[in-house]
Amino acid sequence: MRPTAAAVTLAASWMLVGCAGPADAPGTPADESFADIAYALPEQAPRRFGFGAEASAARVARWDTDVKPDGEGLPAGKGTVAEGEVVFMTYCVACHGPTGTEGPNDVLVGSDPWEAWPGSVTVGGYWPYATTLYDYISRAMPQLTPGVLTPNQTYAVIAYILHRNGVVAADAEMDAQTLPAVIMPARDRFVVDDRQGGSQIR
């Protein structure tokens, strides 16, 4: 069935009311009661709904957890490869496999950039900064319960993953000093994109 002209006009009028355009806007619906409804609601609404709470410094700090490539933002703590193996087998193995290569989720171990592609990229083959492991794991892993690892456990599991990737020795210990000092194999696989736009895009 084709819509009638009247139905189309009505639909367009509703869209204008929905957008709460100025009353004298072209196409303002002839039926002023539509506009009354649209304009009356904000005045009747309470100034505050009572939701939420003050964003105190302590609350903001709980979310302000980003770790920069140079290590800025890393917390105190430390962990070894051996300790990290225990963490990995407890919290990560179900999804990343006993050696970090089996899955079923992202493959964490490997040095070839294309090894786990498509679907995932390996830490050894793709990640340019070791510090990103802290940032990412502390906010996102284990996937179903992120936030359960202590800083010591996070440093430890990072040491284990880096060791599995052949990046640090079996007796390595990761902390806020040693982690930023790790040179990732993939660091030089990235270039700074300093293009300005326009004709420079190539």
Contact residues for ligand HEC, defined by CB under 6 A = 91-92, 94-96, 105-106, 108, 120-123, 133, 136-137, 141-144, 149, 157
| 35 contacts: CB under 8 Å, gap ≥ 6 | 17, 23, 28, 29
CB of 151 to ligand HEC, least distance (A): 13
Closer to ligand HEC by CB, 35 or 110: give it.
110
CB of 50 to ligand HEC, least distance (A): 35
Token pair belonging to 35:
């506009």
Closer to ligand HEC by CB, 35 or 88: give it.
88
Backbone angles phi, psi at 92, to 5 degrees: -120, -25
Closer to ligand HEC by CB, 10 or 95: give it.
95
Amino acid at 7: A
Query: 168, 124 in Cβ contact below 8 A?
Result: no
CB of 75 to ligand HEC, least distance (A): 16
CB of 136 to ligand HEC, least distance (A): 6
Nearest-5° Cα angle at 172, 122 to 187: 40
CB of 190 to ligand HEC, least distance (A): 14
CB of 96 to ligand HEC, least distance (A): 6
Output the furthest CA–CA distance in the chain (Å, rounded).
Answer: 79
Name the residue among 141, 137, 127, 134 with its Cα closest to residue 74: 134
Determine if residue 151 is left, alpha or beta; phi over 0 gives left, psi from -120 to 50 gives alpha, anything else beta.
alpha
Closer to ligand HEC by CB, 133 or 176: give it.
133
Closer to ligand HEC by CB, 17 or 93: give it.
93
Closer to ligand HEC by CB, 38 or 138: give it.
138
Counting Cβ atoms within 10 Å, is residue 82 exposed (0-12), middle (13-18) or buried (19+)? Answer: middle
